[in-house]
């Protein structure tokens, strides 16, 4: 069969389609099915309809963990995006040593989230942490601060720990978009008297909008469901102030063996993710990217 034959394209796509069904579609559909069951390894499995959804959506722990996840996800993604954007724009202005600077900036991306959590746990430690040591040495504070024992400070620590890992990803994604912009735009703007801020606002920002939205959305979707940082950093404490929805899901499934409720949490989280993703995707794909009115 010739490669130009349309049937050839269909045949070579079959293995990938089978793998997609086996790895993604079937688990998702099975998870939806289990969410309608009372499944706890204690009582007989039986169909309960929407009862699991009513239980989960009325649970104060679920609502608290969802609020923690949204706050953490928006905070860490926004911080990573802003700093990644600043670094990417700065790198486009560096003429010498670009390779060295890009290598240094990308290094944190190699650090897994759990490792970053343990590293920042040491940094913010009350007794031996470098942050307290520096603040006390510079006489900014008289007593050491228990960062990880304070609800708001523990959340900030989690946001910083996550942003540290994802700043390089943001930088690379945005830098790739910036380097595809033709220099003629900037030359024309310079002739018209536009300064660097105006060039960025009216040329760079509109032309990298799609890359920016996709990068922001990708990190947002990862952080809203991944509890790795808080698993290593605080364990969900103090109290429930950093009790990420991923930790709530883990406890529901593996600690309390409530598989029906755990599947329900997964379905609700997936639905919320799609509700956030679709408007942003629509904005990225349909919005103009030429900076025109």
What are the residue boundaries of the structural domains of the chain, listed by start? Answer: 59-286
Q: What is the mean pLDDT of residues 34-50?
A: 92
Predicted pLDDT at 292? 41
- Distant-in-sequence, close-in-space partners of 279: CB < 8 Å, separation ≥ 6: none
**Residue 1 clears pLDDT 60, i.e. is over it:** no
- Distant-in-sequence, close-in-space partners of 245: CB < 8 Å, separation ≥ 6: 62, 65, 66, 68, 69, 224, 225, 227, 265, 269
Residue 133's pLDDT band, with cuts at 50, 70 and 90, is very high
| pTM reported for the whole predicted model | 0.86
Predicted pLDDT at 194? 86
Residue 3's pLDDT band, with cuts at 50, 70 and 90, is low
Q: What is the mean pLDDT of residues 134-139?
A: 92
Query: Strand 46-47 vs strand 37-38: parallel, antiparallel, or unpaired?
Result: antiparallel
Predicted pLDDT at 197? 85
Distances (CA, A) of 24 to 19, 48, 175, 223, 266: 8, 25, 31, 20, 14
- Do residues 168 and 203 make contact, with C-beta atoms less than 8 angstroms apart? no
Predicted pLDDT at 25? 86
- The two tokens of residue 39 are 């499944």
What fold is seen in the domain 59-286?
MetI-like fold (1.10.3720)
């Amino acid at each position: 069969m010739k490669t130009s034959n349309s049937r050839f394209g269909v045949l070579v796509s079959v293995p990938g389609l089978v793998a997609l069904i086996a790895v993604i579609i079937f688990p998702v559909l099975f998870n939806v099915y289990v969410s309608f069951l009372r499944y706890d390894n204690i009582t007989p499995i039986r169909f309960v309809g929407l009862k699991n959804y009513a239980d989960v959506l009325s649970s104060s722990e679920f609502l608290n963990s969802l609020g923690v996840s949204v706050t953490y996800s928006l905070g860490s993604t926004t911080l990573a995006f802003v700093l990644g954007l600043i670094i990417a724009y700065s790198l486009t202005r560096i003429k010498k040593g670009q390779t060295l600077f890009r290598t240094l900036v990308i290094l944190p991306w190699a650090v897994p989230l759990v490792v970053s959590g343990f590293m920042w746990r040491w940094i913010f430690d009350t007794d031996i942490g470098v942050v307290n040591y520096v603040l006390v040495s510079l006489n900014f504070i008289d007593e050491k601060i228990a960062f990880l024992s304070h609800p708001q400070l523990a959340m900030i620590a989690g946001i910083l720990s996550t942003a540290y890992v994802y700043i390089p990803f943001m930088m690379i994604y945005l830098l790739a978009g910036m380097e595809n912009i033709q220099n003629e735009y900037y030359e024309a703007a310079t002739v018209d008297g536009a300064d660097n801020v105006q060039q960025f606002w009216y040329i760079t920002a509109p032309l990298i909008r799609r890359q920016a939205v996709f990068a922001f959305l990708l990190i947002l979707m990862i952080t809203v469901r991944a509890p790795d940082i808080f698993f290593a950093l605080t364990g969900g404490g103090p109290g429930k102030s950093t009790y990420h929805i991923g930790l709530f899901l883990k406890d529901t499934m593996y600690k309390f063996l409530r598989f029906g409720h755990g599947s329900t949490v997964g379905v609700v989280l997936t639905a919320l993710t799609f509700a956030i993703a679709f408007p942003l995707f629509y904005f990225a794909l349909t919005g103009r990217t030429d900076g025109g009115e």
